Structure 1
Amino acid sequence: MTTPSQPVGGSFVIQETNPEQVITPEDFTEEQRMFKETTMAFVEGDVLPQDEAIEKLDYELTVKLMREAGELGLLAADVPEAYGGLGLDKVSSTIINESLAKASSFALSIGAHVGIGTLPIVFFGTDEQKQRYLPDLASGKRIAAYCLTEPASGSDALGARTTAKLSPDGKSYLLNGSKIYITNAGFADIFIVYAKIDGSQFTAFIVERETPGFSVGPEEKKMGIKGSSTCPLFFDQAQVPIENVLGEIGKGHLIAFNILNIGRFKLGAGCLGAAKETIQLAGEYANIRKQFNKPISEFPLIREKLADMNIQTYVLESMVYRTAGLIDDKLKQLEHQTEQSGNQAAKAIAEYALECSINKVFASEALHHIADEAVQIHGGYGYTQEYKVERIYRDARINRIFEGTNEINRLLIPGTLLKKAMKGELPLIERLEALQQELTGTLEVPEPSHASLAEQQGYLTQLKTIFLFVGGTAVQKFGTRIESEQEVLSHLANLMIAIYAGESALLRTAKLITRYGEERAAYASSMSLIFLRYNLQEAESIAKELLAYTAAGDVLRTQLSLLKKLVKVHPLSLTPLKRVIAEHVVRQERYVVVPNA
């Protein structure tokens, strides 16, 4: 295996990564830590005291707070300095995004504005469009919304029915149709809208609120995120100036899909912040609540929940900042251009599209589990609105639907990998062929080591080999028809998610050992070990299901025999490790990576 200086998207399934290649929270600079402190101080001091009013959907208050956030620079991170922004790296903007999560619905309002609302203009706007809109968006003077979903097209974005037709005088496009579930719609000033010119050319437009023929419908009554605005939009011969076409005519899909990639990644960062808060709330409550004359935090089953919650958050945090670093490095290649083209920006973002999808799926499902366990720890109280975990639980549900459902993303993850391989961007086919040769010969699978990092690396290698083995079998069986085998793709996606998540945690653990030494980093090492061990067991189960679906008889028996050789683990009880993890969560009443740090 080779180690590229700049990893190619998806290469993690076939190549090793050096720990020094990844960004972790322990690498944050003083400036980045300052942005975190500024954001959290704003949330604690300005937003949370007005949380109840925000949840009642007070437009005026939300806009006022967003402008205050703009004054602090919290809306300007992703906007270039030339257009009134701060032009920060993606790690810094991710830190801000994560740190806003405690603000619940208000965090969503900001996220929709700075991410999917503003970034289309940052990446794809002309210089004139950037000059006209970005300074106001960076300051909060104007608020943005992203408008893709329609009544008849959600995941099938290209099935949009909103149309655009050039006006008789050639000065504007007349838009007709509607959009639904648009975040920030109730108070936004700028709308990124997708429509088909002449019914076929999928194109993006910048639509201003005062546009004749454009109107905003009533607020949706939602299960959660009640403090965020969500409305339908209507276009009735809406007159949009031709200079407000965003990007190239007929190339709106480049904007839509790549901005969704960024949105998926940013959603992961938001879930991370919410997960940390949830652990804190659950830890505090477990220490206060008494049953049978002692705090419930002393009961092993409650502690096991807290340990699992902490482990999932450690893995998620490792993934989020690793991905931020990858995107950073790719976009930095465009920095020296005076005006990067949309196509170049799209290519840079698309490089790590499947990693963005992995972040989105893992983060949304991890937070769902963490929130669910927090409600369980709170018992009946957790089901009442008096305790915030009730709201976190409801708010978290939308994350598996936002930015493309998790089902769609699971299809995209292996699908994107195969497309990269077919284009020659990734030597996946060559690695599959090499593995087939290894499997027909005498396959040497090293015995698991009892040395912590070596043991974990062995589990990770086994995970990758299992994925290549069953993935190659499935591709060989179905060929191009694999696109319609959605259950197979979903299983392969789960294996890829486990690999990326487990490797991200392991790489971070390796860096922590280098920084703190094995003794102080033992806590983190236990978390990555538990995660990899558990997922190796899950991978074996998935592999058996896939092999049973793709083969039968002697062929299946041979493949199952090979699979058995690929999975080698020594007996290990995870309970003592989880008890140590839980002890520190209970003691510190927060998410813990390095105890007492």
Structure 2
Amino acid sequence: MKGTKLVACASRCIGSSNRLIAVHSRGKATAATAEAPRSARQSTSFTLNLFRGQFEPSQVFPFPEPLSDDQRQMLTELVPPVEKFFQEVNDPAKNDADAQIEDGTLAGLWELGAFGLQVPTELGGLGLSNTQYARLVEVVGAHDLGVGITLGAHQSIGFKGVLLFGDPQQKAHYLPRVTGGEYAAFCLTEPSSGSDAGSIKTRAVLAPDGKHFILNGSKIWISNGGIAEIMTVFAQTPIEKDGKTVDKVTAFIVERSFGGVSSGPPENKMGIRCSNTTEVYFEDVKVPVANVLGGVGNGFKVAMNILNNGRFGMAAALAGTQRSALRQAAEHAATRVQFGKRLCEFGGVQEKLARMAMLQYVTESLAYMVSGNMDSGCQDYHLEAAISKVFASDSAWTVVDESIQILGGMGYMKATGLERVLRDLRIFRIFEGTNDILRLFVALTGIQFAGSHLQELMRAFKNPTAHLGLIFSEAGKRATRAVGLARGADLDPLVAPELRGAARELARCVLEYGACVEATLRKYGRGVLDEQLVLNRLAAGAIDAYTTAAVLSRASRAQRLQLPSAQHEMGLAESWAEEATERMGSLAGALAPRALRHGQRLSSLGQAVAEAGGQPSRTPHNV
């Protein structure tokens, strides 16, 4: 499948240029001429600038501190009752066995205000910031991911479009309802369009009276689909563009009460069994034109912004899941005696616990770095949010799996709850953007950003006398890099003294990463869209770089504030940085012809397996 099909949002960002080759420049044109380079897009995103080999510290150092005293006090008052509720009222094992949340639990969650955490107080919600929301979601993730999905499907995506794109009338009409007992759902996925959101078939056509759209189609795997009264629905609508009628996706607020809305039976799922998941059908549904969300034809933008805006919450929830699983494993390792020793005295178990703690620490750091930047008004956080989702869902699986391993046979029993958590976790690498798609999204979006800057430089060469500053700036950077004198950004003032060596290595790796991106673009040009093996390796490097920056920043904060855990945090950060930068250092080798030939061989083998409908080779003793 082509890259443009696999991640429409990323490929659309690529634009129409045939020269996706990039280097960064801070130089400015000195004369306005017909051939003056158009200014390349600027950003404070760490990950976007990484693709140019530039270390942009503003969104990573210092670690975000977005909470006011009042907001901290509010969290102090909110967290204990939520913790108590999940410890004493909610029964995750029963929810899982019954494949539904108990009525008393749901009533209690509504009473707590858990279904309207970020809705303004004047419209019935708690008015929490992203960071406050992350903290409460972390509590939920530590106890019951199925309940977490019910809550998240409602507010993180279900009515999030109304919060982000709703006009005053839409907000006033719907937000008090979704905080007052009416469930919401997000209806995007269809049987024939999973990751390829642009290929949806559901259609909405303006009625002859011009007052309604007539909506027809169906959606699949919709969380809260069987209980939602209010839905954000995406459908193709015909619009006039350049004298032609074309289909573009539009977002609608649809009520079940409009008529023609129905849903199938709950799906029988592997995990998150207590969350309601159904198909939803729309048959000649009359949707008022006033219920268009974000403008006709802007549905793709609405959908992507909803998903991008909510991904940090998944990292926060899974940080809580990992913390809970790690606690179980650590308690067992500290008390279980085998061969005359406690498990925690064995080097192999110690390494497992350390790696689990490291993954949890990175996940938690990402969640609060992204939410903190969002609360501080940052606009370019989409790649960082995608990285947080990918890393969190991969890490949570590893941490819970290793927790089961440490508990041994006991961990495999239902009584410990870990087998349920493992089943619940599996969906997180799939929904709200599969990890495979999000890796391509990160790589393609970063490449597009980098490409615009080299185009600026290439245009400058058409009129060199007017743009000497830009040209010489880039020439100097390339020369020092070529002879090994480039040192990268000076991060010493930004990190704890004990972490400066790790920070310097990260800065050096950022420079080398930019060189790898440029070499890749020179080699493939626009054809890089179809080079998924290459894109995945670049995405892995970006994840390593951002996660390293996040933990170095957070651990430095701990040291600066003299937190009791500071030494432990710096140990975790230094260990992660050492491993991550070592992987980044091997990126050039991973993109070398020999490594790529190996990847191409695997691609060919995979294609053969698909075409054979399984393993093409026969068993040795087939008769």
Q: When the two structures are superposed, what TM-score results if normalisation uses the length of structure 2?
A: 0.78
Contact 2:120–2:126 under 8 Å retained in 1? yes
Specify the alignment match of 1:252 in structure 2: 299
Measure, in 1, the Cα distance between the counterparts of 2:309 and 2:328.
Answer: 29
Structure 1 residue 544 corresponds to structure 2 residue 593: no
Measure, in 1, the Cα distance between the counterparts of 2:445 and 2:96.
Answer: 40
Contact 1:435–1:469 under 8 Å retained in 2? no
Structure 1 residue 215 corresponds to structure 2 residue 279: no
**Amino acid in the other structure paired with 2:169:** E
CA shift, 1:118, in A, is 1.8
CA shift, 1:295, in A, is 3.1
Structure 1 residue 492 corresponds to structure 2 residue 538: yes
CA shift, 1:227, in A, is 1.1
CA shift, 1:401, in A, is 0.4
Measure, in 2, the Cα distance between the counterparts of 1:105 and 1:55.
Answer: 12
Specify the alignment match of 2:400 in structure 1: 371
| Cα 1:194–1:293 shift into 2, 3 Å | same
Of 468, 479, 483 in structure 2, the residue corresponding to residue 441 of structure 1 is 483
Cα deviation, 1:473-501, whole Å, max 9, x if unaligned, reads: 11121122212111111111111111110
Specify the alignment match of 2:354 in structure 1: 307
Of 505, 510, 521 in structure 2, the residue corresponding to residue 459 of structure 1 is 505
Structure 1 residue 109 corresponds to structure 2 residue 150: yes
Cα deviation, 1:80-139, whole Å, max 9, x if unaligned, reads: 234222322211111111111112211111111111012111111121111111012123
Measure, in 2, the Cα distance between the counterparts of 1:550 and 1:282.
Answer: 38
Structure 1 residue 7 corresponds to structure 2 residue 44: yes
Contact 2:93–2:417 under 8 Å retained in 1? no
| Cα 1:424–1:30 shift into 2, 3 Å | farther
Gaps of 5+ in 1: 332-347, 553-597
Contact 1:106–1:228 under 8 Å retained in 2? yes
Counterparts of 1:482-521 in structure 2, within 5 Å, are: 482-516=528-562, 521=566
**Amino acid in the other structure paired with 1:239:** K
- Is 228-237 or 441-450 further displaced after alignment? 441-450
Of 373, 378, 382 in structure 2, the residue corresponding to residue 353 of structure 1 is 382
CA shift, 1:445, in A, is 5.1
Counterparts of 1:108-507 in structure 2, within 5 Å, are: 108-139=149-180, 141-198=181-238, 200-330=247-377, 348=379, 351-422=380-451, 435-443=477-485, 452-507=498-553
Measure, in 2, the Cα distance between the counterparts of 1:68 and 1:420.
Answer: 47
Contact 1:464–1:499 under 8 Å retained in 2? yes
Measure, in 2, the Cα distance between the counterparts of 1:321 and 1:205.
Answer: 31
**Amino acid in the other structure paired with 1:467:** Y
Contact 2:322–2:399 under 8 Å retained in 1? yes
Specify the alignment match of 1:90 in structure 2: 130
CA shift, 1:17, in A, is 2.3
Of 525, 533, 543 in structure 1, the residue corresponding to residue 570 of structure 2 is 525
Contact 1:25–1:321 under 8 Å retained in 2? no
Measure, in 2, the Cα distance between the counterparts of 1:161 and 1:273.
Answer: 38
CA shift, 1:6, in A, is 9.1
Structure 1 residue 69 corresponds to structure 2 residue 142: no
CA shift, 1:263, in A, is 2.9
Measure, in 2, the Cα distance between the counterparts of 1:358 and 1:524.
Answer: 21
| Cα 1:478–1:550 shift into 2, 3 Å | farther
Cα deviation, 1:144-168, whole Å, max 9, x if unaligned, reads: 1111110000110010001112234
CA shift, 1:192, in A, is 0.9
- Is 294-303 or 64-73 further displaced after alignment? 64-73
CA shift, 1:379, in A, is 1.6
Contact 1:35–1:92 under 8 Å retained in 2? no
Counterparts of 1:34-73 in structure 2, within 5 Å, are: 34-48=77-91, 51-53=93-95, 55-58=97-100, 61=102, 64-73=104-113
Whose Rg is larger? Answer: 2
Measure, in 2, the Cα distance between the counterparts of 1:391 and 1:551.
Answer: 39
- Is 425-434 or 109-118 further displaced after alignment? 425-434
Contact 2:545–2:581 under 8 Å retained in 1? no
Q: When the two structures are superposed, what TM-score results if normalisation uses the length of structure 1?
A: 0.81
Measure, in 2, the Cα distance between the counterparts of 1:426 and 1:516.
Answer: 47
User: The residue matched to 2:415 in structure 1 has which SS?
Assistant: coil
Specify the alignment match of 2:5 in structure 1: none
| Cα 1:232–1:361 shift into 2, 3 Å | same
Measure, in 1, the Cα distance between the counterparts of 2:374 and 2:206.
Answer: 37
**Amino acid in the other structure paired with 1:465:** L
| Cα 1:520–1:394 shift into 2, 3 Å | closer
Measure, in 2, the Cα distance between the counterparts of 1:353 and 1:252.
Answer: 18
Specify the alignment match of 2:580 in structure 1: 535
Measure, in 2, the Cα distance between the counterparts of 1:427 and 1:109.
Answer: 47
Measure, in 1, the Cα distance between the counterparts of 2:594 and 2:525.
Answer: 15
Whose relative contact order is higher, 1 or 2, with alpha carbons under 8 Å and at least 6 apart? 2
Measure, in 2, the Cα distance between the counterparts of 1:300 and 1:99.
Answer: 31
Contact 1:185–1:232 under 8 Å retained in 2? yes
Contact 1:124–1:247 under 8 Å retained in 2? yes
Measure, in 2, the Cα distance between the counterparts of 1:71 and 1:164.
Answer: 37
**Amino acid in the other structure paired with 2:176:** P
| Cα 1:134–1:290 shift into 2, 3 Å | same
CA shift, 1:425, in A, is 13
User: The residue matched to 2:561 in structure 1 has which SS?
Assistant: helix
Contact 2:67–2:131 under 8 Å retained in 1? no
CA shift, 1:435, in A, is 4.4
Contact 1:177–1:235 under 8 Å retained in 2? yes
Cα deviation, 1:265-294, whole Å, max 9, x if unaligned, reads: 221111111111110111122234332244
**Amino acid in the other structure paired with 1:225:** I
> Could you tell me the percent identity over the aligned residues?
32
Measure, in 2, the Cα distance between the counterparts of 1:34 and 1:458.
Answer: 41
**Amino acid in the other structure paired with 1:7:** T
Gaps of 5+ in 2: 1-24, 27-41, 239-245, 459-469, 598-623
| Cα 1:46–1:259 shift into 2, 3 Å | same
CA shift, 1:550, in A, is 9.7
